[in-house]
Structure 1
Amino acid sequence: MKKRIFRTSLTSQLTALAMLFTFVANGAQPEKKVKSTNTPVFSNFVYQGDDDVYKKYPLEEGEFYSPILQGCYPDPAITRKGDDYYLVCSSFAMFPGVPIFHSKDLVNWTDLGGVLDNPETFDTHDCGISAGVYAPGITYNPYNDTFYMITTAFTGGLNNIIVKTKDPKKGWGDPIKLAFGGIDPSIFFDDNGKAYIVHNDAPDRGKELYNGHRVIKIWEYDVEKDQVIEGTDKIIVDGGVDLSKKPIWIEAPHLYKKDGKYYLMCAEGGTGGWHSEVIFKSDSPTGPFIPAPSNPILTQRHFPRERENKVDWAGHADIIEGPNGQWYGVFLAVRPNEEQRVNTGRETFILPVDWSGEFPVFVNGLVPMEPKIDMPKGVENKTGQDGFFPNGNFTYEEDFSSDDLDKRWIGLRGPREAFIEKAKGGVRINPFETNVKEVKPTSTLFYRQMHNSFSYAATVDYKPESEKDLAGIVALQSENANYVFGVTKKGDDYVLVLQRNFKRRFRGEMDSKVIASKKIDLSKPVRLQVSAKGDKYEFSYAVEGADLVRLGETVSGDILSTDVAGGFTGCLLGLYATSANDAIPE
């Protein structure tokens, strides 16, 4: 298995220092880091997925799994240039912003990192985890050979922005602010070279009819000035498919053109149990748009709550013509655990799309979804091999010895380079004077939870100097809902602690409690692990190569679900260090 870490060249080190200086200059960095003599080194990382669905449904020849991106990769959008496909997702306060992937065949995907990767122009240092970047769109314009990524960024005063590049593999330009409100923008280039932006917005002032009443607007876009053309805005969908039924949250619009007609596809019903995808048709990009009589064209809302291998919340889609002229659609959906809770977040799924008739429809998107679909003809499944993103059950091992750190490792509210550095035998995390409960950058190297059943383990070499020092691992749904598991100090003793942190939505103060603790010998590195079987999470440790021992009781993962904690993200698993620890055993 390929192992990765950072470049060790002088150039790379200077780049990381420059990013750190920028981060501090922007006010995004906590006051200081602790002395370099008191920093934890993490090594021998292993993440292992163990979901039953992949055991019950092993892949046969010519099959691949959906979701194609497991874990918190929601709100997918897709484009193509020739045989190259590019896919982007929401990232909220994670850094870098807007994950982007590349594929030649819609099956095997390469992680390219994040579109918004410059902390000078994309600053998330003071936003909650579910703020930040929402619902990006990506479109290739053949008339100027340029890719456009457009999104809403609730951070740093950005709002709706667009960035451009000639080659997504080589980075993107700086954000350009756009002069309109609303959310979920996407850009469309007509075959006459004209450009349009469509987005979700509120109804005109005084015309809101009910809670959740939204509209879709369109603007003409000036490609030379990179700005919407003032006065061209027009509402093209009011409320949704049928306003008399009070549809909620018409959003995530995408425009397409096929056989001389214009199609507008949107999500409807809110990103939960009533989520769906609907389609409209017009002779003009500015309407009027007539809804398809067969709407919705994708949903999972009509099926029993208790069902095997449940996939739910399907919607927020984008479609593309794939290999051999077959259309495909990417969309978000969730895979709840046995308690019907969503801990892995909203993931990116894919299905074939049948567009042989007047309107497109997702193949098997209106029946309970299966975990496997047929491969495009002539494609070989290489997921998890040769640098391609894994799916299904997989094991990811990291000894932090190779040139580049895998792009699945991310920061929160700032770049990971601000607090990590290469160390002998592992990765060193320089602690910030913040902890995971604060709406600030934290010195935590995060990895998304990608399975309902998994284990996540690393060895940490660390000797805290005071009770303010802690290093270990976290399972975090948000700053208001997380578990902290690590080593700290109390008096002259080293202590292993497990802390539960939870603040109820919309009310109450943070309830922080050390639910288990134990004195520990740190003369040798200690191995720490968090594992889950659905809703049941366990935190375990081992010293000097002994067998893992659970600390405390099995705990519920309820606070790590969107159902209990709220927000839009899935659980993040982190390698964590802080000099602002408050997990103090009694």
Structure 2
Amino acid sequence: MKQRRMKYKWNTWLSLLALTLMSSCQQNSGDRKDTIVAGREPVFQNFEYVGNDKIYAEQPLPDGHFYNPILQGCYPDPSITRKGDDYYLVVSSFVMFPGVPIFHSKDLVNWKQIGHVLDRESQLKVETAGISAGIYAPDIMYNPHNDTFYMITTQIASGIGNMVVKTKDPLQGNWSDPIKLNFGGIDPALFFDDDGKAYVIHNDAPDEGKALYEGHRVIKVWEYDVENDQVIAGTDKIIVDGGVDIAQKPIWIEAPHIYKRHNKYYLMCAEGGTGGNHSEVIFVSDSPHGPYKPATTNPILSQRHLDKSRPNPVEWAGHADLVETPDGEWYGVFLAVRPNEKNRVNTGRETFILPVDWSGEWPVFEGGMEPLKPSIQMPQGAENKMNTDDFFPNGNFTFIDKFEGKGLDDRWIALRGPREKFVQESKDGLVIKPFDVNIKVQQPISTLFYRQQHATFSAFVDMHYKPETEGDLAGLACVQSEAFNYVFGITKSGEDYSIVLERTEKGESSIVAQAKLAELGKISLKVEAQGDDYQFAYALDSGNFENLGGIVSGDILSTDVAGGFTGAMIGLYATSANDIHIN
């Protein structure tokens, strides 16, 4: 054991020494000449993700339009708020670390990620949670009465439950540590009335013994003490029981929001569950406490009733939030999915936006009950800059990260723990320190993830690596969860080095293909997909790519196959607890 530790330290020293000796010449992605000595800690360079969906190639943007969804990939459960002409949007992050991505826009078209709300271990305690636990349905709300922004959410881990954090300025971050809230259920949201009074609404179970059917839920309201950041005991009241019409046994009334307009209180909720029956419904009352009357026009947003064979379908639309512009116009953000040709959902639940017509009594998502289109018209005065500068891209785009020590892009995330605990940045590459756990466990893993954002994509990276033992492995991983994933990496068996592709389904793993490697140094790894068809390939020392395993199914990377709430992710993976045994 002592000898192994000495070898490990020696290889670590060699890797770090090699980083300082690398050429500083300017070269193209994928073509940089290297002097890195491959060691037990992999060094990654020249990551490139290219999205090439047919729908964007065949339907270029008309003048004055922008693409929908605005956030492609696993960015679900959006919530939006506004202060002046600044819009802020947050989404669910589950056990991703840092948690709750936050975006900023001046015009609802061009969005910049300004960081994460939960970026410290004191805020996010998800170390042993399954991938679809953690942070659910964050709600962001600006309170003009104390000039403070709130993010309220449910943390399904570590006994925290419902919680709220605060900041004066989301652009600066510095969100507070969580304040635990004294109520159950999920999907809390805040509402600040004109008189300064505050309320919390949320999904909950019916009172004990009153559940009538599976999926029967209620919406509750509490008065909220802004001074002490806590619900006021004894003020809770059920304001919706079951949904729009309990005689129809509606399921999973959730994600509530209250809006005040013309001295009326409008309660908007998701109904039907995040899946094929998802929808958005609305109610009205003269008081925050109810009683609430459902609209006769419900649902106001859904795709569930449409022909499933329609071209380029968007499904599962719901879980919405509304915002009013300074000019009195209304928009709604919501989640939906874009299934591939086999009706699989590998990109997960994404964030869409639509204009909302509220000229009548009820808000109407414009086109929200019709087949959703790939682009919509921009608000007046907006200019589409989504694929320029540091605006968040959409449509077909390329993301390149050469890992030159300039700081990690906010799109890179870890699972269950900080990236900084296993990543070392340099101007010459990204070193990943392997943890003694592998990708199949519910613990922090030494893997840096980028979300899959297209049905048709390729992802490429250069890696310098030389495993020392059979427990060492590094490479790429395509992950839907700890129980559903592909691992494509380099490991050792006896004195031989091998590249292996492993498929894990329902926690059961099998080797798809493997090949011995005569020598190790620089290796290029690539995964590409066309809908459900995935391929993995490798190239030694900038040579030609060789496929490993042929075409494999992306079924296990689909949300509706693997279950849960996340989308597929591409990981730069390293472990010293490899359990793939080479034949």
1:307 maps to 310
Amino acid across the alignment from 2:103: F
1:23 maps to none
Aligned partners of 2:571 and 2:495: how far apart in 1?
27
1:412 maps to 415
Amino acid across the alignment from 1:149: M
1:365 maps to 368
Change in Cα spacing, 1:311 to 1:344, as seen in structure 2 (3 Å) is: same
3-state SS of paired residue (1:54) = helix
Q: CA deviation at 1:125?
A: 0.7
Out of 106, 117, 120, the position equivalent to 1:118 is 120
Matches within 5 A, 1:131-530: 131-171=133-173, 172-322=175-325, 324-401=327-404, 403-423=406-426, 425-503=428-506, 510-530=507-527
Q: Contact 1:78–1:85 (CA<8 Å) still a contact in 2? A: yes
Aligned partners of 2:415 and 2:523: how far apart in 1?
25
Amino acid across the alignment from 1:542: A
2:20 maps to none
2:582 maps to 585
3-state SS of paired residue (1:554) = strand
Q: CA deviation at 1:402?
A: 5.0
3-state SS of paired residue (1:55) = helix
Q: Contact 1:462–1:522 (CA<8 Å) still a contact in 2? A: no
1:554 maps to 551
Are positions 1:534 and 2:531 aligned together? yes
- Residue by residue over 1:119-177, the C-alpha shift from the partner in whole angstroms, topping out at 9 and shown as x without a partner, is 13311110000000000101000000000000000112210000000001222001000
1:94 maps to 96
Q: CA deviation at 1:98?
A: 1.1
Change in Cα spacing, 1:380 to 1:402, as seen in structure 2 (3 Å) is: farther
2:32 maps to none
Aligned partners of 2:87 and 2:580: how far apart in 1?
46
Q: Give the % identical residues.
A: 64
Aligned partners of 2:195 and 2:122: how far apart in 1?
37
Q: Contact 1:78–1:137 (CA<8 Å) still a contact in 2? A: yes
Gaps of 5+ in 1: 1-35, 504-509
Aligned partners of 1:233 and 1:428: how far apart in 2?
51
Q: CA deviation at 1:401?
A: 1.5
Amino acid across the alignment from 2:242: G
Of the structure 1 ranges 55-64 and 261-270, higher mean CA displacement relative to structure 2 is found in 55-64
Gaps of 5+ in 2: 1-37
3-state SS of paired residue (2:420) = helix
Amino acid across the alignment from 1:579: S
Two-structure CA RMSD over aligned residues (Å): 1.1
Q: CA deviation at 1:323?
A: 5.5
3-state SS of paired residue (1:417) = helix
Q: CA deviation at 1:38?
A: 2.0
Aligned partners of 1:343 and 1:442: how far apart in 2?
22
TM-score if structure 2 supplies the norm length?
0.92
3-state SS of paired residue (2:56) = helix
Aligned partners of 1:514 and 1:585: how far apart in 2?
8
Q: Contact 1:324–1:377 (CA<8 Å) still a contact in 2? A: no
Q: CA deviation at 1:423?
A: 3.4
Q: Contact 1:463–1:522 (CA<8 Å) still a contact in 2? A: no
Change in Cα spacing, 1:546 to 1:323, as seen in structure 2 (3 Å) is: farther
Q: CA deviation at 1:69?
A: 0.3
3-state SS of paired residue (1:113) = strand
Aligned partners of 1:215 and 1:228: how far apart in 2?
18
- Residue by residue over 1:355-397, the C-alpha shift from the partner in whole angstroms, topping out at 9 and shown as x without a partner, is 0000001000000100000001111111121110000000011
Amino acid across the alignment from 1:119: E
Q: Contact 1:318–1:329 (CA<8 Å) still a contact in 2? A: yes
Q: Contact 1:497–1:516 (CA<8 Å) still a contact in 2? A: yes
Q: Contact 2:466–2:521 (CA<8 Å) still a contact in 1? A: no
Q: CA deviation at 1:37?
A: 5.4
Are positions 1:544 and 2:561 aligned together? no
Out of 63, 66, 69, the position equivalent to 2:65 is 63
3-state SS of paired residue (1:573) = strand
Are positions 1:576 and 2:573 aligned together? yes
Aligned partners of 2:502 and 2:298: how far apart in 1?
47
3-state SS of paired residue (1:170) = coil
Of the structure 1 ranges 235-244 and 118-127, higher mean CA displacement relative to structure 2 is found in 118-127
2:28 maps to none
2:33 maps to none
Q: CA deviation at 1:212?
A: 0.6
After TM superposition, the runs of 4+ consecutive aligned structure 1 residues lying more than 2 A away are 322-325, 521-524
3-state SS of paired residue (2:327) = helix
3-state SS of paired residue (1:169) = coil
Q: Contact 1:323–1:376 (CA<8 Å) still a contact in 2? A: no
Aligned partners of 2:163 and 2:489: how far apart in 1?
40
Amino acid across the alignment from 1:105: D
Q: CA deviation at 1:424?
A: 5.3
1:9 maps to none
- Residue by residue over 1:398-435, the C-alpha shift from the partner in whole angstroms, topping out at 9 and shown as x without a partner, is 11115221100001001111100123521000000011
Aligned partners of 1:497 and 1:307: how far apart in 2?
39
Q: Contact 2:405–2:429 (CA<8 Å) still a contact in 1? A: no
Q: CA deviation at 1:516?
A: 0.5
Aligned partners of 1:321 and 1:199: how far apart in 2?
22
Q: Contact 1:105–1:323 (CA<8 Å) still a contact in 2? A: no
Q: CA deviation at 1:513?
A: 1.1
Amino acid across the alignment from 1:416: R
Aligned partners of 2:51 and 2:385: how far apart in 1?
18
Q: Contact 1:536–1:554 (CA<8 Å) still a contact in 2? A: yes
Q: CA deviation at 1:520?
A: 1.5
3-state SS of paired residue (1:106) = coil
2:42 maps to 40
- Residue by residue over 1:320-339, the C-alpha shift from the partner in whole angstroms, topping out at 9 and shown as x without a partner, is 01363221000000000000
Q: Contact 1:41–1:423 (CA<8 Å) still a contact in 2? A: no
Q: Contact 2:407–2:425 (CA<8 Å) still a contact in 1? A: no
- Residue by residue over 1:435-474, the C-alpha shift from the partner in whole angstroms, topping out at 9 and shown as x without a partner, is 1001111100000000011001101000101111011000
- Residue by residue over 1:253-309, the C-alpha shift from the partner in whole angstroms, topping out at 9 and shown as x without a partner, is 000001111000000011100000000001111111100110000000011222211
Amino acid across the alignment from 1:532: A
Of the structure 1 ranges 45-54 and 117-126, higher mean CA displacement relative to structure 2 is found in 117-126
Matches within 5 A, 1:4-15: none
Q: CA deviation at 1:544?
A: 1.7
3-state SS of paired residue (1:553) = strand
3-state SS of paired residue (1:359) = coil
Aligned residues: 545
Q: Contact 1:106–1:322 (CA<8 Å) still a contact in 2? A: no
Amino acid across the alignment from 1:44: N
3-state SS of paired residue (1:324) = coil
